[in-house]
Structure 1
Amino acid sequence: MQKIRWSFRSSPRRIAAGVAATAMLFASAGVQAASGPPSIAVIAHRGGALLRPENTVPALRHAADLGAEVLEFDMMMTADDKIVVHHDADINPDFCRPDVGARVVPGPIRGLSFAQIRQFDCGSDVRPAYAGKGFVAVPGARIPSLDEVLRGFRGGDARFFAETKIPKGADIDPVKFAALLDVAVREHGLEDRLILQSFDFRTIDALHAINPRIRTCLLGVPKLTRDYLAMLRRHHATCIVLGHADIDAEGAGALRRDGITVFSNVADSPEDWRKYVDLGVDALFTNDPAGLIDFLRESKLRR
């Protein structure tokens, strides 16, 4: 049977720990683990952006309540060096509006303080790309701090897949970013439940140097090289996100045998979900966790 391996180090001790963590993950989610079909985890992209306001606590809570094993979100830094959960470099006026009477205007996240950022309602509207009949607005939803997210979910079973975002030209020290992340993760006792992902490998390298216990995942590797394993080893990462055109089932299996966890790229249709299932990925990454969970159940890949 295929298993989701949460131990991303190559040592036997790490692999054993990962198997134990996987068993707990399956038990909490009700996913079949002891026998039967392969078990594939569900990663809720931005908390499930097709269903609730992206990168907000209500979105993450909804995804967790649905049964998504992994909550994915993006991280930016404010002017006062607070890590907040948001995707865009700027406050996006398409779906974030200032509170009535607030003396703030949309601008770069790095140019606004945390107090200013909290004066935007990012739950009443939706990014046009995610608008659809499944979306439910949550008026008043705020851009949360990383601390708020970790504190709110530390008592559950969900894993976290958190991405560092450093906009081009932004005055952000990747080492400081990684250090602040490490402090927050340690404070909430979540070193074994959070994976750092990034296109910016400087934060990947910095976090490994600060705290190698926190696992890391590389994004965008196919644009750099097809020798995925060499790149992963170079950056001490043991997780990779790949599109179904970036690898075949044989290649994915080889990576997994080398201790690498393989996540799909973001996919929102049954056609694409099936392609990734056939590849043998460890987890499927989606904006529609409800639809994906239904698909996996109908495919006899989930209870």
Structure 2
Amino acid sequence: MSGVFTATEVIGHRGAGRTTASEERENTIASFRAAVEQGATWIEIDVRRSADDRLLVHHDAALPDGRPIVDLPAAECRASGLVALDEAIAAIPQHIGLDVDVKTVMEDAADPPARRTMSLLLPVLRREARRRRVFVCSFDPAALLAVHAEAPEIPTAWMPFVRNPLDQAVAGAAGLGCAMVAIDARSFGLTGDDPRPGRRGVGYTVDIAHRAGLEVISWCPDPLDAARFADDGVDAVVVDDVSGVVAALAKRRSAC
């Protein structure tokens, strides 16, 4: 199956992950650069909008002090350490793929279409897709459907919530018309977990997904599970320990 990835690729989670040896804060330029240095071939960034319709890179809906980002102007958010999307993209080399995790907000349901997160983001996605590998992932199916309608050349990945059931994850991504399904590593069962009745194995799940035309991404396995998932055909992993996973996958390849 041809697709976005050359299996198994490493995607840096929010840059170099939530915990790194040098402790760079996630979704920062330092973290993106660290992930590239550690061997990631993709960087995942979280994108959300401010009160004045600027796009910022941040995972949580609020700043650490509890103020919702969608209620604040971009300048105030940046003063609190957030990075503007264009600044983040400029810091990521063009040979590195961009995994854009869209964080829509409740206000997208009621605000005028031009103000909604996806309307603001689509021009950026189209621009970047002309010069690098890009895909969009989201918990929000509406965000993915917007990409399908307005920028069908850009692949999408449905990312159901944590510990999502494998059946709904794969069937849902296929039904939405996505190119990929992003599965929480815990849904597969981590090394050492007790078996769960009725839960399909990694290889079986990947086979069904591939037969449906889907590539499979898993987030966030540790190095041991990342290598195990690669053995079963998972196409990419979104990871916090970039250097550890890169080393585990290299060891696996050398043993083959």
Same fold at TM > 0.5:
yes
CA contact (8 A) 2:104 2:117 kept: no
- For residues 128-277 of structure 1, what are the structure 2 equivalents within 5 Å? 142-153=81-92, 155-167=93-105, 170-173=106-109, 176-190=116-130, 193-220=133-160, 223=164, 226-242=167-183, 243=185, 244-245=188-189, 247-248=200-201, 249-270=203-224, 272-277=225-230
Distance in 2, Cα, partners of 1:90 & 1:214: 28
Matched, 1:115 2:75: yes
CA contact (8 A) 2:222 2:239 kept: yes
Tell me the amino acid that sits aligned with residue 150 of structure 1.
Answer: I
Q: How far apart are residue 227 of structure 1 and its match?
A: 4.8
Distance in 2, Cα, partners of 1:61 & 1:218: 26
Distance in 1, Cα, partners of 2:214 & 2:108: 30
Could you tell me which residue of structure 1 aligns to residue 196 of structure 2?
A: none
Tell me the amino acid that sits aligned with residue 157 of structure 2.
Answer: C
Classify the secondary structure of the residue corresponding to 2:107. coil
State which of 75, 84, 87 in structure 1 corresponds to 2:59: 87
Matched, 1:42 2:2: no
Distance in 2, Cα, partners of 1:180 & 1:191: 19
Could you tell me which residue of structure 2 aligns to residue 125 of structure 1?
A: none
Q: How far apart are residue 114 of structure 1 and its match?
A: 0.7
Distance in 2, Cα, partners of 1:301 & 1:213: 35
Tell me the amino acid that sits aligned with residue 205 of structure 1.
Answer: L
Residues 247 and 62 of structure 1, relative CA distance in 2, 3 Å threshold: farther
Q: How far apart are residue 277 of structure 1 and its match?
A: 2.2
User: Which 4+ stretches in 1 moved above 3 angstroms?
Assistant: 187-192, 221-225, 227-230
CA contact (8 A) 1:191 1:213 kept: no
1:74-109 residue CA offsets vs partner (Å, 9 max, x unmatched): 11110011111101111014xxxxxxxxxxxx5110
Q: How far apart are residue 191 of structure 1 and its match?
A: 7.2
Could you tell me which residue of structure 2 aligns to residue 295 of structure 1?
A: 248
Residues 191 and 180 of structure 1, relative CA distance in 2, 3 Å threshold: farther
CA contact (8 A) 2:170 2:181 kept: no
Quote the sequence identity (%): 25
CA contact (8 A) 1:192 1:213 kept: no
Residues 255 and 301 of structure 1, relative CA distance in 2, 3 Å threshold: farther
Distance in 2, Cα, partners of 1:301 & 1:90: 44
1:135-157 residue CA offsets vs partner (Å, 9 max, x unmatched): xxxxxxx311111122333x521
Q: How far apart are residue 212 of structure 1 and its match?
A: 0.7
Matched, 1:64 2:36: yes
Tell me the amino acid that sits aligned with residue 171 of structure 1.
Answer: E
Tell me the amino acid that sits aligned with residue 89 of structure 2.
Answer: L
1:192-236 residue CA offsets vs partner (Å, 9 max, x unmatched): 621111111111111211111111100117747725554223322
Q: How far apart are residue 301 of structure 1 and its match?
A: 5.5
Classify the secondary structure of the residue corresponding to 2:83. coil
Could you tell me which residue of structure 2 aligns to residue 32 of structure 1?
A: none
Q: Larger Cα Rg: Structure 1 or Structure 2? A: 1
1:271-297 residue CA offsets vs partner (Å, 9 max, x unmatched): x22331232100122111011111122
Tell me the amino acid that sits aligned with residue 12 of structure 2.
Answer: A
Q: How far apart are residue 172 of structure 1 and its match?
A: 2.5
CA contact (8 A) 1:185 1:191 kept: no
Q: Normalised by the size of structure 1, how large is the TM-score? A: 0.69
Residues 296 and 225 of structure 1, relative CA distance in 2, 3 Å threshold: closer
Q: Normalised by the size of structure 2, how large is the TM-score? A: 0.81
Distance in 2, Cα, partners of 1:188 & 1:162: 11
In the alignment, structure 1 segments of 5+ residues that lack a partner are 7-21, 27-38, 94-105, 121-141
CA RMSD of aligned residues (A): 2.6
Classify the secondary structure of the residue corresponding to 2:219. strand
Tell me the amino acid that sits aligned with residue 157 of structure 1.
Answer: H
Could you tell me which residue of structure 1 aligns to residue 27 of structure 2?
A: 55
